[in-house]
Structure 1
Amino acid sequence: MATRISGFLGGRLQLAQDERGHRVGLDAALLAAATPAAVSGLILDLGAGVGAVGLSAALLAPRARIGLVEIAPAAAALARENIRLNRLEERARVFEADFVDAANRRASGLVYEEADVVLTNPPHHAKGRVRASPDPARALAHVAAVPLADWTRAALALLAPGGSFAMIHRAEALAECLAAMGTKLGGVAILPVSPRDGAAATRVLIRGVKGSKAPLSILPPLILHHSDGAYAPLADAILRGLRPAPL
């Protein structure tokens, strides 16, 4: 596998990635920006790929421990390499596991309700609804092997009561995301992400608290670009790891 090392989060992070596989980008930076900076416990990045979200969270929450949970052996190997590249060996580890399967989850060392924060960017397309890439790694990253409800249920099983859950998904999947979360989360905040002012949202960043009874809120959209294509100031700061997401 040919790999390339490139900067991420404004160059604060170095990531080794498969030159031909799925490449991390905007979604990962936005999801990482939902990390509560004050957290000092365990942050789990579920479906971590090469570790972009979780390792970004390590920079944004410097007292936290990080678990990168990834099922694909090649991606898990790159996640381990990225931990070394960024000198995070004392704070981060990889769980090579199918976290949706309860027995596999336990066997890998993942503990029920241990995480203070769960971050996840699940595959955005259901199996059978789109044509999967012939490349297995790309297909696994983009086409879900399990229903979103099962993915989310397993993710919430790993989150401690009072813990923070964040997910990024396609805007048109919002209803499915909320249905998958059910009644286990409260204080749910929905941040629509729009490519430019006046355009429909293409992504939603969702954050909630396990066991909370607080009401749901829909926030003003995060606008990514000005009309000239340049990043808007807040979006630029988020993508550089300098500002949290306004959740």
Structure 2
Amino acid sequence: MTMTSVSTETTDNGFLGGRLQILQPRRGYRAGIDPVLLAASVAARPGQAVLELGCGVGTALLCLGARVPGLRLDGVELQPEYALLARENAARNGLSVEITTADLTTLPAALKARSFDHVIANPPYFRRDNSSASPDAGRETGRGEALALSDWIAVAARRLKPGGTATVIQRAERLPEMLAGCEGRLGSLEVQPLAPRAGRPARLVLLRGRKGGGAAFRLHAPLVLHCGAVHAGDGDDYAPVISDVLRNGAALPFGAASGLA
């Protein structure tokens, strides 16, 4: 256990096989594999600018920065303590990241004046009109929706350069909302379903759209995260392509084969 200048008790967790060390609150919203998969799916190139909306403690941005050198990385985070941890995590991992503490709906003028090659987001998964709020404020902000998905997508689209891409990871059941939010804002839409095991429905999806894109909609075959029909023993059972992402910081292109029969 580590204590930082933040008043929150934190843990120090390894990502990308220990390549990154990330401080995050012991209680509250904690990053799992979702931001790692999000970062791996972004086809960023050195010299490009990337913005993450709702960056939390910076996990996705730092995973992307570790994989692709020379990016200009920016993040926006509503909760000051999480934003402070994101800055600290960037510094302790030797990556340059600019973190702005702000609400997405009231971004500062300096940030609104800029545009980006890529915008990424891992919005809260749960609508609070049909689920219960968490008693922990940090976890609730990270997991419970206070801003509609269409608003997240609208902000992302406004911050993109022409031809830039927005990539979002979200629960599969909310894909219709995301597609509706892209209408008139993003084109060339692609969906990568993420299924826990072969033969099971996707629980998560990655959605990517391009500003000004005109290509036909593409629904990729599900990417299977785990080997086998059930978890058979100790340790993880990630499919090889997923293990390569989580352990080695590999890229995860849309349409990537899972390596499973």
Q: TM-score, normalised by structure 1?
A: 0.93
Q: Is 1:106 paired with 2:111?
A: no
Q: CA offsets per residue over residues 142-170 of structure 1, 9 Å max, x none? A: 11111111121112111111111100000
Q: Is 1:35 paired with 2:35?
A: no
Q: Is 1:172 paired with 2:173?
A: yes
Q: Residues 9 and 26 of structure 2 are in contact (CA less than 8 Å); yes or no, is this contact kept in structure 1?
A: yes
Q: Partners of 2:173 and 2:120 in 1: how far apart?
A: 20
Q: Residues 44 and 118 of structure 2 are in contact (CA less than 8 Å); yes or no, is this contact kept in structure 1?
A: no
> Of 99, 106, 109, which residue of structure 2 is paired with 1:94?
99
Q: Residues 170 and 202 of structure 1 are in contact (CA less than 8 Å); yes or no, is this contact kept in structure 2?
A: yes
Structure 1 unaligned spans of 5+: none
Residue type at the aligned position of 2:90: I
Shift of 1:113: 5.4
Structure 2 unaligned spans of 5+: 1-7, 232-236, 255-261
Q: Residues 113 and 161 of structure 1 are in contact (CA less than 8 Å); yes or no, is this contact kept in structure 2?
A: no
Secondary structure at the aligned position of 1:156 is classed as helix
1:46 alignment counterpart:
53
1:3 alignment counterpart:
10
2:63 alignment counterpart:
56
Q: Partners of 1:95 and 1:240 in 2: how far apart?
A: 29
Equivalent residue runs for 1:72-151 within 5 Å: 72-88=79-95, 91-101=96-106, 105-107=107-109, 109-112=110-113, 114-151=115-152
Q: CA offsets per residue over residues 200-222 of structure 1, 9 Å max, x none? A: 00000111211110111011111
Q: Partners of 2:185 and 2:46 in 1: how far apart?
A: 21
Q: Which structure: greater strand fraction?
A: 1
Q: Partners of 1:97 and 1:159 in 2: how far apart?
A: 18
Q: CA offsets per residue over residues 179-229 of structure 1, 9 Å max, x none? A: 111132222111000000000000001112111101110111110111153
Q: 1:242 to 1:18 in 2, by over 3 A?
A: closer
Secondary structure at the aligned position of 2:111 is classed as coil
Q: Partners of 1:237 and 1:212 in 2: how far apart?
A: 30
Q: Partners of 1:13 and 1:144 in 2: how far apart?
A: 28
Q: Partners of 1:126 and 1:208 in 2: how far apart?
A: 23
Q: CA offsets per residue over residues 24-50 of structure 1, 9 Å max, x none? A: 011111100122142422101110000
1:234 alignment counterpart:
241
Residue type at the aligned position of 1:3: T
Secondary structure at the aligned position of 1:225 is classed as coil
Shift of 1:66: 0.5
Residue type at the aligned position of 2:74: G
Shift of 1:245: 1.7
Shift of 1:21: 1.6
Q: 1:25 to 1:17 in 2, by over 3 A?
A: same
Shift of 1:112: 4.3
Shift of 1:5: 1.0
Q: How many residues align?
A: 241
Secondary structure at the aligned position of 1:30 is classed as helix
Shift of 1:83: 1.0
Q: Is 1:208 paired with 2:215?
A: no
Shift of 1:106: 2.7
Shift of 1:241: 4.5
Secondary structure at the aligned position of 1:235 is classed as helix
Identity of aligned residues (%): 39
